[in-house]
Structure 1
Amino acid sequence: MAQVSIDGDRLVVTMEGLDRVWALKSAVTVPLAHVRGATADPGIVRGRKGVRAPGTHFPGVITAGTFHTREGRVFWAVRDAAKAVVIELTGERYARLVVQVDDPRATVALIEQAVPVG
């Protein structure tokens, strides 16, 4: 699972427990100015992931790590699809972050309130 927080003008996604191992990353930090928005999307786990490099993928169990798609790199850290949040980015290493959080609605609200308008 991931913890999503706002630290000044930055969005911080911190991996917890074994998800650090599966995702091969402990945290992702991006400027809020590069965050386009966030949505709760449990259906995203059924779609194509792209080419895994590096990461972990056991269908129906876990998707974690970096996946390369036509749209760019996507960082995944999801075990429970019902708790998946998609964070859209621009001008960053990752085009989007797909992470499992404890409360998807609260996480989306936190991000949407912090993202600069315009």
Structure 2
Amino acid sequence: MAQVRIDSGRLIVEMEGLGRLWALRSRLAIPLDHVRGATVDPGMAREPKGIRAPGTQFPRFITAGTFYSKGERVFWDVRDASRVVVVELTDERYARLVLQVRDPRATVASIEHALQPR
């Protein structure tokens, strides 16, 4: 599972527990200018993941780490498909982040609120 927060104009994603080991990353920091949006998307967990490099995958149990699919690099940290949030990025190492969070709707609302022009 991932903790997602906004801090100093950045989207901060911190992997929790064994997710750090499985994803081979403990933290991502993305400038908000590079975040296009976020959606709740439980169906994303059923999509093909692509080539794992590096990461961990046990189908229907865990998908974590970096995956290459259709020429894009995607970061995954998912164990429970019902709590998936997809964050679309631009000009970043990853094209999108697919994350399991505690409260998907609140996470998306927080990200979308931070993206609104002030």
TM-score (norm 2): 0.96
CA RMSD of aligned residues (A): 0.9
1:70-89 aligned at under 5 Å gives the runs: 70-89=70-89
Partner of 1:60: 60
Q: Deviations over 1:26-70 (max 9, x none)?
A: 011100000000001000011111100000111110000000112
Partner of 2:8: 8
Q: Which amino acid aligns with 1:30?
A: I
Note if contact 1:39-1:85 (Cα within 8 Å) is conserved in structure 2. Answer: yes
Whole-Å separation in 1 of the counterparts to 2:115 and 2:64? 25
Indicate yes or no: 2:85 matched with 1:104.
no
Whole-Å separation in 2 of the counterparts to 1:111 and 1:84? 14
Runs of 4+ in structure 1 displaced over 3 angstroms? none
Q: Which amino acid aligns with 1:75?
A: F
Tell me by how many angstroms 1:18 deviates.
Answer: 0.4
Q: Which runs of 5+ in 2 are unaligned?
A: none
Whole-Å separation in 2 of the counterparts to 1:102 and 1:50? 25
Partner of 1:39: 39
Q: Which runs of 5+ in 1 are unaligned?
A: none
Secondary structure in 1 aligned to 2:111? helix
Q: What is the number of residues matched between the two proteins?
A: 117
Q: Which amino acid aligns with 2:32?
A: L
What is the percentage of aligned positions where both structures have the same residue? 66
Tell me by how many angstroms 1:72 deviates.
Answer: 1.2
Whole-Å separation in 2 of the counterparts to 1:26 and 1:72? 21
Q: Which amino acid aligns with 1:54?
A: P
Partner of 2:28: 28
TM-score (norm 1): 0.96
Q: Which amino acid aligns with 1:42?
A: P
Secondary structure in 1 aligned to 2:20? helix
